[in-house]
Amino acid sequence: MAIILSSNLLIDQYQSKLVTADEAVKIVKSGDWVQYGEFVMQPKELDVALARRVGELEDVKIRCVTVTMIPEVVKADPERKHFRFNDWHFSGFSRAMQAQNLCNYIPVTYHEAKKLIEEFVEIDVAFILVAPMNSNGYFNLGTSNSITSYVIEKAKKVVVEVNTSVPVCLGGNAESVHISDVDYVVESVQNQKLLNLPETTIIDTDREIASVVMGMMEDGCCLQLGIGAMPNVVGSMIAESDLKNLGVHTEMLVDSFVDMHESGRVNGKMKTIDKGKMAYTFAMGTDKLYDFLDNNPVCASYPVHYTNDPFIIAQNDKVFAINNAIEVDLFSQVASEAVGSRQISGTGGQLDFMFAAFRSKGGKGLICLSSTKTLKDGTVASRIRPTLSPGTIVTIPRTINYYVVTEYGVALMKGRTTWQRAEELINVAHPDFRDELIKEAEKMKIWVRTNKLEA
């Protein structure tokens, strides 16, 4: 009888908070800070409804994490007079908006997000996409745990947009919000499917770099893979390899982790914490990944202050952090998020995992990039440069950089002098640029002429 009563009370709470999207967005006032859900968990119908209020509002500041669509509030206000959009981690959509001065980046060291939001960020209203409420009164946060629980705790008003397409992603921790902590419930009319990332174009260089990485892999290592073609190729190669007893403690869960698990490469038996679990803070991929996540107890969704804390990550042995970069200079500084003043992505968890990999017993932090890039005018340029492009933001300082990998091999940075770092990096640069890099290193007084490069 008590169970029925409890259920009825939950239903009553739900019905009392159920409103349309147009009714829910009336709580937004001019000058408010509004937080949207993260990654593929962005609210769709609340965004549309808020855009309809464009003429009524001024100076509404909106935050998101890796916007996966052009928001309707941005389309409704192309001169940015009413809505000011901001992103914690840039996507292609963010870059397109930034090019028109319609979006700004918010710098963040990802594992610090909890304290940052608790102490330094104002949130008046939160719009959060969720799975339908369960029999215990909880809405699952789906594929994006990340900062969402902090947002819910900090926001003055919380509105959930219920979508039946959202997979139930088990914890871990903080993977759900209770009806008692929600101010309004909006039921999606369209129940739009979560975004499926397009298939990544893979080139021969990606495979060559991945092959170098595979030569460094060991049985029992604990994996973190970043976004992009090359990490996905590594995942595919692992799935087809004879590696054993791999673990997963990552920021982002992608499709290749499904392949690695189903092939038997990943079982988490050698992990120190979350043994047997694939720990992650957000997931982005295709329906293959979302279907795999749904009510799957092998996956553990955690907030980012857990998954990305270097001191927590490093409790696992053999942490292998595999990430992309845009440029590396001869001082061994890494640019992974910007070229000049143009923001490309964000710091994300790359710094967190590079730091953790060094602390981990037997760990390796790999910064991977092709040796060259082709510019818009068709000329080929080296990604290993004397110095970073003017104005470029440093993502990984030289003191944290560990290994740099190109299709030409591996360069170790730890414990190396400036001339040793330059030598190591020139050795993995494209041969066509090595002489030029040597000359520039000499000018900068970080090269000793008697040093001999590998043939």
CB–CB of 358/210 below 8 Å? no
Largest Cα–Cα distance in the chain?
A: 86
Q: What share of the chain is helix, strand, coil (3-state, %, to 5)?
A: 35, 25, 45
Assign 3-class secondary structure to 362-376: CCEEEEECCCEEECC
Task: Give the strand order in the sheet containing 364-368.
Answer: 299-301, 278-280, 247-249, 222-225, 319-324, 364-368, 403-406, 409-412
Taking the mean position of all CA atoms in its chain, how far away is CA 133?
27
Q: Is 260 helix (H, G, I), strand (E, B) or coil?
A: helix
CB atoms within 10 A of CB 155: 22
Distances in Å between the alpha carbon of 23 and those of 157, 329, 334?
14, 53, 47
End-to-end CA separation in angstroms for the chain: 81
Residues pairing with 104 in the sheet:
86
Which are the contacts of 67, defined by CB distance < 8 A and separation ≥ 6?
36, 42, 85, 87, 91, 93, 94, 97, 103
Please, is 398 exposed, middle or buried when counting C-beta atoms within 10 Å of its C-beta (0-12, 13-18, 19+)? middle
* H helix or E strand, kind and range, residue 432: helix 431-443
Closest by Cα among 187, 184, 151, 186 to 27: 184
CB atoms within 10 A of CB 309: 17
CB–CB of 280/190 below 8 Å? no
| H-helix segments, 300-408 | 304-307, 310-313, 350-359
Q: Which residues are catalytic?
A: 251
Q: How far apart are CA 224 and CA 104, in angstroms?
A: 28
Residue type, 51: A
